Chains A and B, each alone.
Chain A
Amino acid sequence: MQPGLYHILFISGALFFTGVYGFLTRRNLITMLMSIELILNSVNLNFVAFNKYVWPGKMDGLFFTLFIIAIAAAEAAVAIAIIINLYRSHKSIDVENAEDLKY
């Protein structure tokens, strides 16, 4: 059996919600960052799948995916920098402790 569009969408959907679940429940900032990566990758999967099955002649989806991978790398760098700084000031990378911006 050839895997069809729906199979891939199912996987990417599962991946996306796993990521969302992880982002909402984890307290560790690193884990949250990893969850974001999962979400981004689920989006990448969607792009690639839609490109292949809906507009096979085009390359837009692939390019978007490449962009997202590049941006995700940059984002990870920035995010880790922020996390390190946070750790320096708060001695913790627990997100519960980083609520100085309230009210």
Chain B
Amino acid sequence: MPGTLLIALIPLLPLAGFIIAGLFGRKYLGRSAGYLGTALMLASALLAIYTAYSYFTAPNGGEYPKIKVLDLTWLQFSDHLSINMGILLDPISVMMIVVVTLISLMVHIYSLAYLKGEERFPTYYAYLGLFTFSMLGLVLASNIFQTYIFWELVGVSSFLLIGYYYDRPSAVAACKKAFIVTRFADLGFLIGILILSNASGTLDFDTMISTLTSPETGAAQKSVAASFLGFSALTWGAALVFIGGAGKSAMFPLHIWLPDAMEGPTPVSALIHAATMVVAGVYLVARLFPVFAVCTPGVLEMVGWVGAISAIIAAIIACTQTDIKRVLAYSTMSQIGYMMFALGVSKYGGEAGLGYTASMFHLFTHAMFKALLFLGAGAVIHYVHSNDMKDMGGLRKQLPVTHLTFLIACLAIAGVPPLAGFFSKEEILLAAHHHNMAIYWIALLTSGLTAFYMFRLYFSIFWSKPYQPHGEHHHHGSVLMTGPLVLLGIGAAFAGLIPFGHFVSSDRIPLASHFDLSFSVLPVALGLLGILAAMWVYARQSDRADKIAAAMGGLYKSAYRKFYIDEVYQFVTKKILFNIVGRTAAWFDRTIVDGAVNMTGTATQKIAAGIKKIQSGKVQQYAVYFLTGMILLAVLFIYLLK
């Protein structure tokens, strides 16, 4: 194993990039901030690969160990509760650091060309560094509060990067939306942390899991006794933590921010909103998987259903969108739904834990091909200066490398063997088939739709009508752009061949991968059917698409309008929260509370104004008062107070 310092450098190098580029980039570094960030990222990625290599090859007794490389007390709340900053190495965190650093490296390189000539180039690299640091801190966290801290930090880096083009109102709206929606989910996460930490008496992942899952400690039983609205405290805790994950991972109904987040620069979408940050929710559930599986199977079932519903809804919406980045965004949401329900149908330990392995496997392969798709889409957008499918078509001659790699990615995501997506998807379907048939059928349908919309995208961009250039500047991507595409293309093509179960499993004991050819026939056939359907509709310029859309009527329209979920949110936030609650609070403060204060003042003045009239300056009036007073006092003393 590499030493502590080397492992700690994996997240710290991008942080250094952030600090240097952030403080000095604008004035002194200029374009070299990008090269610096890329160099640091390269070092970090090499360290991560080295760490992964030594972790997985180190001798172990048939079970991968959990190694706490570092554990520093950051904030001591009370005797047993403390936030520690630590580094926890276990199969999933090691897998994640490789994914994060690699994709981040690709994006760093790609952006050198993509954002060439941008005024805020150093700032961009600073943000990228911040994001990568936060994401690595998140996956390496040994303490649930540490996860929360980095969770928020990835949220803010995502905010900053979505709002990179800060002078576009749409980007500003999108970054605010992304931050607030995920923030709302984070609220659930925070309360979930409080409940779980209270139930287990610790914030440390390891101790928390072992306390909650082992029957001897009785922590789980105790919190079962403490119930609220009929659910045990632990159920609430796990469900709330999942809500946090669902927000970050854009699960239905908290997904509304993800499509809008495409306002950010395309490489950012590839890094944050496709490959790494959005899978943080999946990672979080995986991290706490024993708690979900052993203590709260009900919540795990909910995870499964939320994942399945998100997968199918996103796939349907993706079929109707015309902005290529939005199609990819919904596709991301759909694929993350896959990962989620794979976790949902899994059990803890052994063969039954296949879903867990499958989910992580899909996370891994998805990172490759989805980053590739986004970077490819970026190259296309870079070339035609538009996000809209209508402005594209016939680009296969102009962008041959992009075309080829994009095709590989589409085939991979459609689950065509032997590309990466095929293997991971098969495992997920297998797991679903074993444990929940309803989810299996939804997954199968989604898989067919996925093939359809991805090839709809592919054919619309690269085939369809012949290309008509409009606009002057057409940049063929330099090698800085095509290089990452090719590398990721190799990954998307071959990553599936890794015997993933051998490395990652729910109980960290290697799991044999198994493929059943007869089982694979149906999904692959469906996938091919989807591809053929897309080819029939979109490969040539025709009015078939419009006809189908017209035939679908209301379904098409509501899918095109994203099932009106945005409108519902708009109504709740604008009408109810802003207008009713906010306005009332502001009004109440100004009129009632402040009114009471002002009234005290006014009342004092009024009374004083009344009383001062007595002081009329007329001597004889004073004499009358005096006389009356004397008489009253005389009466009082002589007759009443004898």
- B616 is an interface residue with CB less than 8 A from chain A: yes
Render B613-625 as a binary contact track against A, CB cut-off 8 A, 1 for contact.
0011111100110
- Measured CB to CB, the nearest residue on chain A to B609 is A103
Closest residue on chain A to residue B612 by CB atoms: A103
Question: When the two chains form the complex, which single residue of A20, A25, A103 contacts B627, counting CB atoms closer than 8 Å?
Answer: A20
Instruction: Determine the chain B residues whose CB is within 8 A of the CB of A98 once the complex forms.
Output: 617, 619
In the complex, chain A residues whose CB is within 8 Å of the CB of B612: 103
Q: How many residue pairs between the two chains, A and B, have CB atoms under 8 Å in the bound complex?
A: 30
Partner of A99, one of B618, B623, B624, B627: B618
Q: How large is the interface on B (under 10, 10 to 19, 20 to 34, 35 or more residues)?
A: 10 to 19
Question: Is there contact, CB below 8 Å, between A102 and B624?
Answer: no
Instruction: Assess whether B618 is in contact with A95, with CB atoms less than 8 Å apart.
Output: yes
Q: Specify the chain B residue showing the minimal Cβ separation from A29.
A: B619
Q: Mark A66-103, 1 if CB is under 8 A from B, else 0.
A: 00000000000000000000000000000110111111
Report the bound CA distance from A32 to B622 in whole Å.
14
Q: Would you call A95 and B617 a contact (CB within 8 A)?
A: no
How many angstroms between the C-alpha atoms of A29 and B97 in the bound complex? Answer: 104
Q: How far is the CB of A36 from chain B (nearest CB, A)?
A: 10
- Per-position binary interface string of chain B over residues 287-331, scored 1 when its CB falls under 8 Å from any chain A CB and 0 otherwise: 000000000000000000000000000000000000000000000
A99 CB, min distance to chain B CBs, angstroms: 3
> Is residue A54 within 8 Å, beta carbon to beta carbon, of the partner chain?
no
A1 at the binding interface (Cβ < 8 Å): no
A24 touches B624 (CB 8 A): yes
B614 to chain A, nearest CB (A): 10
Number of interface residues of A (CB under 8 A): 13
Q: Give chain B residues whose Cβ lies under 8 Å from the Cβ of A100.
A: 617
The answer on a CB contact under 8 Å between B620 and A95 is yes
Residues of A within 8 A of B620 (CB): 23-25, 32, 95
CB-CB under 8 A from A102, the residues of chain B are: 615-618
Query: Which residues 450-467 in B have Cβ within 8 Å of A in the complex?
Result: none
Chain A: minimal CB distance from B265 (Å):
73
Expressed in whole angstroms, the Cα–Cα distance for A20 and B619 within the complex equals 13
Minimum CB–CB distance for B200 against chain A, Å = 73
C-alpha gap A100/B617 in the complex (Å): 6
Q: How far is the CA of A68 from the CA of B100 in the complex (A)?
A: 108
Report Cα–Cα, A102/B618, bound state, in Å: 8
- Separation of A103 and B618 alpha carbons in the complex (Å): 11
Are A23 and B623 closer than 8 Å at their CB atoms? yes
Quote the shortest CB–CB distance from B290 to chain A (angstroms). 82
Question: Whole-angstrom distance from the CB of B12 to the nearest CB of chain A?
Answer: 76
B623 touching A103 by the CB < 8 A rule? Answer: no
Closest A residue to B624 using CB positions: A24
Q: Identify the closest chain B residue to A99 (Cβ).
A: B617
Name A95's closest neighbour in chain B (CB-CB). B619
Which B residues between 607 and 642 are near A, CB-CB below 8 angstroms?
612, 615-620, 623-624, 627
Chain A nearest CB from B90 CB (Å) reads: 85
Q: Are B615 and A103 in contact (CB under 8 A)?
A: yes
State which residues 19-44 of A face B: CB under 8 Å.
20, 23-25, 32
- Residues in chain B near residue A95, CB distance under 8 A: 618-620
B624 contact set on A, CB distance < 8 A: 24
Residues of chain A with a CB closer than 8 A to B615's CB: 101-103
Please measure, in the bound complex, the distance between the C-alpha atom of A98 and the C-alpha atom of B619, giving whole angstroms: 8
Residues of B contacting A101 with CB < 8 Å? 615, 617
Min CB gap B621→A, angstroms? 9
Q: Whole-angstrom distance between the alpha carbons of A25 and B623 in the complex? A: 11
CB of A97 to closest CB in B, whole Å: 10
**Residue from B612, B615, B616, B619 having most chain A Cβ neighbours under 10 A:** B619
The distance in angstroms between the C-alpha atoms of A23 and B619, with both chains bound, is 10
Could you say which residues of chain A place their CB within 8 Å of the CB of B618?
A: 95-96, 99, 102
Name the distance in Å between B628's Cβ and chain A's nearest Cβ: 11
Further 12 A-B residue pairs, CB within 8 A, beyond A99-B616, A102-B617, A102-B618: A20-B627, A24-B623, A25-B620, A32-B619, A95-B619, A95-B620, A96-B618, A101-B617, A102-B615, A102-B616, A103-B615, A103-B617
List 9 A-B pairs, minimum CB-CB distance, nearest first: A102-B617, A99-B617, A101-B617, A102-B616, A103-B612, A24-B620, A99-B618, A103-B615, A95-B619
By a beta-carbon cutoff of 8 Å, the part of chain A in contact with chain B is 20, 23-25, 32, 95-96, 98-103
- Would you list 18 pairs from A and B whose C-beta atoms are within 8 A, ordered by A residue? A23-B623, A24-B620, A24-B623, A24-B624, A32-B620, A95-B618, A96-B618, A98-B617, A98-B619, A100-B617, A101-B615, A102-B615, A102-B616, A102-B617, A102-B618, A103-B612, A103-B615, A103-B617
